[in-house]
Amino acid sequence: MKAAVLREYAEPLEIQHVPDPEPDSHGVVVETEACGICRSDWHAWQGHGEWADDRVPKGQILGHEPAGRVVAVGSGVERVREGDRIAVPFNLGRGDCEFCRNGHGNVCADGLALGFETDAPGAFAEQVHVPYADYNAVELPPNVSPVEMAGLGCRFATAYHGLAHRADLTPGDWVAVHGCGGVGLSAVHVADALGANVVAVDLADEKLSKACELGADETVNAGEVEDVPERIRGLTSGGGAHVSVDALGVAETCRNSVACLRERGQHLQLGLTTDEERGEVALPTDAMTMREITFLGSRGMPPTRYGELLRMMDRGTVSPAALVTNEVALGDVPDRLAAMSDYGTVGIEVVTEF
Ligand SMILES: [Zn+2]
Ligand SMILES: [Zn+2]
């Protein structure tokens, strides 16, 4: 089969012929119908993550937002059948540790990160192997398109899990979203769907317009104001945001996010850092303590929680497809990743031709 393989960090991915995957006893093989291109792919391609023991090995097939049809089933799989249409979260659990059994498979102690490690080749490929399929596979309703499915694996699900499960969000709360890339725009859309008032922050007017289409009530162009947190306080009746999301992962957006909160506010970290920060950002911990600010990390979404998101999609409350701005072919992936280096993509781009 054809696959996009990481040969050298920051060199174009190579489209190569590699052996078709065979299902492990606990796995299934999916014929990929769609796979989103995510900033995490870009981080992996750049060789980021060694500071968190999370650097993707060379030789890796990237791609972690797949959706498609099951074409082969391992001997020990009971729930998933050939022909099923499934999506999977990138954060794969094994299903049997205390976290998985308590509904937190996204932080499984022995979990696999699809498309980021040797044991879990990714979905920028004609076929992808899904390990521990009985636990991880999310069956898709018939009315959900492959493109819509593709956004669910990482960014949309990550934004949803962060806002719906990690943060304590009340309708009418002000939510600030710093960075309007794929996960940021997803957070804008989800926060709006959950009844929040949303302030979107970015440097690009084009991304802020997209944020307005997706439900942002106010926008701040961070390149045009002196003090982003102060502007946000001004837009939120002087108090600041109840919940603020760093959807980018650079020191400035992280600190702005913490600084724009009102007392007892909650900061939600969705973006991973770059080789500037190397996983560490200085924060005003005294002020956070005095003002009872909460710092929440959030990773992907447990596979066991997808049902609620699919029901919201069914009722039209959220629409991941509204984030999709471009459908491309597997051969375009190297270029589209490169376009992320200068933040040159808007919304979510999805590979639909393999
Ligand atoms: Zn587990
Ligand atoms: Zn991702």
The set of residues, in sequence order, having a beta carbon less than 8 Å from that of 177 and lying 6+ positions away, is 184, 187, 188, 191, 198, 199, 200, 201, 211, 216, 244, 245, 247
The set of residues, in sequence order, having a beta carbon less than 8 Å from that of 224 and lying 6+ positions away, is none
The whole model's pTM is what? 0.94
Give, for 349, the enclosing helix (H) or strand (E): strand 348-353
Question: Residue-wise pLDDT tens for the chain (354 aa)?
Answer: 999 999 999 999 999 999 999 999 999 999 999 999 998 899 999 998 887 777 899 999 999 999 999 999 999 999 999 999 999 999 999 999 999 999 999 999 999 999 999 999 999 999 999 999 999 999 999 888 888 888 776 899 999 999 999 999 999 999 999 999 999 999 999 999 999 999 999 999 999 999 999 999 999 999 999 999 999 999 998 899 999 999 999 999 999 999 999 999 999 999 888 888 999 999 999 999 999 999 999 999 999 999 999 999 999 999 998 899 899 999 999 999 998 888 878 888 999 999
Domains of the chain: 2-154+301-353 (3.90.180.10), 156-297 (3.40.50.720)
Compute the distance from residue 100 Cα to the ligand 1 centre, in Å.
4
Q: Which listed ligand is nearest to 98 at the C-alpha?
A: 1
Compute the distance from residue 104 Cα to the ligand 1 centre, in Å.
8
Q: Which listed ligand is nearest to 109 at the C-alpha?
A: 1
Compute the distance from residue 195 Cα to the ligand 2 centre, in Å.
25
Compute the distance from residue 103 Cα to the ligand 1 centre, in Å.
9
Compute the distance from residue 100 Cα to the ligand 2 centre, in Å.
20
Q: Which listed ligand is nearest to 131 at the C-alpha?
A: 1
Q: Which listed ligand is nearest to 44 at the C-alpha?
A: 2
Instruction: Report helix, strand or coil for 177.
Output: strand
